[in-house]
């Protein structure tokens, strides 16, 4: 019986994603917030996989992902001229090392001008 050759493992990269979330019960967002933006670094063999894994993780955390904007991998961002500080690179490396999603920043959205302002 012939064995089928194993597919070579594709290397993972880390992708920068901005995820907008809406409200749902138990989401942990501030009381008066209407939603939030999450800056995430996600590991994946391609950006589509990184997006799928991030959305699945956020849903497990009782968040309501509405829209995802991808900014590319580290090499792609550097090629576009992005200035990426060392602390951001460290978070990207953590996501790669742990094959995970790292939420680097959360900014809550508010509609009412008198409501508390966004916190990071």
**Three-class DSSP labels, 6-46:** CCCCCCCEEEEEEEEEECCCCCCCCCCCCEEEEEEEEEECC
Q: Is 89 part of a structural domain of the chain?
A: yes
Q: Is 43 part of a structural domain of the chain?
A: yes
Q: Which two tokens stand for residue 46?
A: 């391609």
3-25 tens-digit pLDDT: 777 777 788 999 999 999 999 88
* Cα 109 from Cα 118, distance rounded (Å): 6
Name 39's bridge partners: 18, 105
Q: Is 52 part of a structural domain of the chain?
A: yes
Q: Is 117 part of a structural domain of the chain?
A: no
Q: Is 115 part of a structural domain of the chain?
A: no
Q: Is 29 part of a structural domain of the chain?
A: yes
Give the pLDDT of residue 8: 72
Q: Is 93 part of a structural domain of the chain?
A: yes
Integer CA distances (angstroms), 71 to 10, 48, 100, in order: 20, 12, 17
Give how many domains the chain has, as a whole number.
Answer: 1
* Cα 92 from Cα 59, distance rounded (Å): 21
Give the pLDDT of residue 23: 92
Q: Does 1 score more than 70 pLDDT?
A: no
Q: Is 59 part of a structural domain of the chain?
A: yes
Q: Does 120 score more than 80 pLDDT?
A: no
35-76 tens-digit pLDDT: 999 999 999 999 999 999 999 999 999 999 999 999 999 999
Q: Does 106 score more than 70 pLDDT?
A: yes
Range of the domain at 79: 13-109
Q: Does 108 score more than 90 pLDDT?
A: yes
């Amino acid at each position: 019986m012939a064995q089928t050759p194993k597919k070579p493992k594709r290397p993972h990269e880390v992708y920068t994603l901005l995820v907008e979330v809406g409200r749902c019960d138990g989401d942990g967002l501030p009381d008066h917030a209407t939603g939030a933006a999450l800056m995430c670094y996600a590991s994946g063999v391609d950006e589509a996989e990184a997006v799928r894994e991030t959305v699945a993780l956020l849903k497990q955390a009782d968040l309501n992902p509405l829209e995802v904007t991808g900014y590319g991998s580290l090499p792609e961002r550097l090629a576009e001229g992005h200035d990426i500080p060392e602390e951001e690179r460290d978070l990207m490396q953590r996501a790669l090392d742990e094959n995970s999603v790292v939420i680097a920043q959360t900014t809550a959205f508010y509609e009412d001008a008198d409501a508390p302002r966004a916190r990071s």
